[in-house]
A and B are shown apart, each in its own frame.
Chain A
Amino acid sequence: EVQLVESGGGLVQPGGSLTLSCEASGFAVTSTYMIWVRQTPGRGLECLSIIYIDGNTDYADSVKGRFTISRDDSENTVFLQLNSLRAADTAIYYCARDLFLSPAYWGQGTLVTVSS
């Protein structure tokens, strides 16, 4: 059974950093694309970053240069490093297994709140 469990969210001050983790089970994260998506009431669902099977990555312009996606094959975990956080980054962050160029399996999400 495919399962994704995110962790690492919380309250952080503007300009601060956070690392989100997404532990996968039921499949190998190296065998598929993995994607991070966030959701806010104002901007809806937004795809942020993707890591491909070969390890290459892509980012949305809104987070390019501030967020970094990576994975640990031995832990079967994908990470999203969030730097230079702004109030506008407050959101629920989901990781997902990408199949047919769309998020097919989603985690439960982790809430990131950026506030002083």
Chain B
Amino acid sequence: DVVMTQSPLSLPVTLGQPASISCRSSQSLVHSDGNTYLNWFHQRPGQSPRRLIYKVSNRDSGVPDRFSGSGSATDFTLRISWVEAEDVGLYYCMQGTHWPQTFGQGTKVEIK
């Protein structure tokens, strides 16, 4: 299975300041169809995960534009341009290129 490795695992942030999370995959995530199926999710305590970003850099409907994704092949980044209180929780990267789809271990974002 493809191993997804996130860093950092814990990210204390200041409200209004930027934040970024890194994700590396053990294999290239470029699919035979040419797309790269790397996704980002956010999960608040007691809630189901919510997808934020699909195919590296596409925001899902309703996701604020302060969230952005970038990267290629095996190295990816989620950036929050400025952190708001509602952004706390766990963030996961996830690859869909290879079955089984696999998640990173999660990054806990909390307010300093």
Contact = CB atoms under 8 A, between A and B. Distances in A.
Interface majority SS (helix, strand, loop, mixed), chain B: loop
The 9 closest A-B pairs by CB, nearest first: A101-B96, A106-B48, A45-B103, A102-B39, A47-B101, A101-B37, A102-B96, A60-B100, A47-B100
B36 to A, nearest CB: 10
Contact of B103 (A44, A48, A108, A109): A44
A58 B98 CA distance: 12
A112 interface: no
A102 B49 contact: no
Interface of B: 1, 31, 35, 37, 39, 48-51, 54-55, 58, 60, 92, 94, 96-97, 99-103, 105-106
8 contacts: A47-B100, A50-B101, A101-B31, A101-B101, A102-B96, A103-B51, A104-B54, A107-B48
A35 B101 contact: yes
B94 A45 contact: yes
A99 interface: yes
Contact of A106 (B39, B50, B96, B105): B50
A101 B103 contact: no
A102 B100 contact: no
Contacts of A94: 48-49
Contacts of A108: 48
Interface string A84-116: 000000000010001111111011110000000
A72 interface: no
Given A45-B94, A107-B48, A100 B103 contact: no
A75 interface: no
Nearest to B31: A101
Nearest to B103: A45
B48 A104 contact: no
A88 B101 CA distance: 20
A58 B48 contact: no
A67 B106 CA distance: 26
